[in-house]
Amino acid sequence: MTGNADNAGREKLQRVLDWAVAEAGVPGIVAEVRDANGSWFATAGVANIQTGTRRQPGEHVHTGSSGKAFTAAVMLTLEAEGRLSLDDTVEKWLPGVLNVNGYDGNKITIRHLLSNTSGLFSTGLAPELGHRYATRSGFVKHRFDEFTTEDLLRLAVSQPPVGEPGDRFEYANGGFYLAGAIIEKVTGNSYAEEVDRRVIQPLGLTNTYVRPTQDIGYPDPHPRAYSNLFYKDGTDPATVTPENWESMIEEPGLEPLDVTEFNTSSAWSAGNVVSTIGDMIRFINAMASGSLLPPAQHREMWTTVSTEGSYWMPHARYGLGLFEFDKEATGGRTLRGVGGSLWGFFICTVGTPDGEHTIAFHTNTEWKTWDLLFKVIEAEFGTSIPA
């Protein structure tokens, strides 16, 4: 049985989910909580706008950049086995790949890649991606394009550096493409095989997998995915920067585009994992508490860097593929998490370091506002984080 305080907390969380649908432009949202009282599932809105089908437990969803944490976990298990060091340079494993466009593979380490401190530019703003997906018409034309590893490695260095290695945080998918290529070079196996063997199977994530390059759909059950993440018609993607991109987004009020069938191979080792919110709770509990990795690698995963001034999530520090909220913003409480957003999906999983209290939620549209995450955290943990 749950007490009155617990029931009040769940009612507050349900109000947040209802707010997301009524005011934040979310078609449908699900949340699952696991704590000392067991588990609790809640939902609001719909899985399918056309049919009105409700969202349900056990849905398969894309986890976006949550996949970065899977990549980091694989790297750390390889380090624990002595097969590589996080301080190895990219040049050691991928000779010549970084020595273009002003980069230096002798200065950038695996640790830089996994902490987004490599100096690589923000890959999502690459004009090549922008011309394919930035507008509705471009997305429809290119939604089934496939990317090879070679394509992604070229994309990672297609623009000049934004800084020196180790100087500052800049969220860059390209660093994780390089990490995925190093995993394959070290092991002789595919990235997907190593994630499955080193993370998914040990943690019993029975509904989780790295999405194959050719896949465009999801196992049942799954929600439809809807997007408004497009620039205004006529926008030149080459002019978009981390500072101005929000001003370029198309006007609100337009009908969302159904993007459920979409080839996401452009994400690869930077975030192409399909899972359920239940599996993601199990995953972050293991990452937060250290039950998968040896103590030394667990400490490395949670040695964080400041993200201040990066136009990324406010009040957070970044570890290796995961984040931890600033204790100043949480009143001294430690909360760790992982999240991701792409066309048609947003997911976030946050919990305590002991893995005893965790919440995961998912929307079938992309990130709309940090207010949703912060409202969920306040409702569940009683911690008010300023937006």
Kindly report, residue by residue over 74-99, the tens digit of the pLDDT. Answer: 999 999 999 999 999 999 999 999 99
CA angle 27, 32, 35 (to 5 degrees): 160
Q: What is the mean pLDDT, run by run of 10 residues, along the chain of 387 residues?
A: 61 96 96 94 97 97 98 98 98 96 97 98 88 89 96 96 95 97 98 98 98 96 94 78 79 87 97 98 97 98 92 92 92 93 96 96 93 94 83
Quote the CA–CA distance of 363 and 339 in Å, as a whole number: 12
Q: What are 155-188's pLDDT values in tens digits?
A: 999 999 999 999 999 999 999 999 999 999 999 9
With beta carbons less than 8 A apart as the criterion, state whether 285 and 364 touch: no
Q: What are 4-22's pLDDT values in tens digits?
A: 556 767 899 999 999 999 9
Q: Are strands 28-35 and 38-45 parallel, antiparallel or unpaired?
A: antiparallel
**What one-character DSSP code corresponds to residue 89?**
B
Give me the torsion for CA of 343, 345, 346, 351, rounded to 10°: -140
Give me the torsion for CA of 123, 129, 134, 139, rounded to 10°: -140
- Residue percentage of the chain with pLDDT more than 90: 80
With beta carbons less than 8 A apart as the criterion, state whether 206 and 140 touch: no
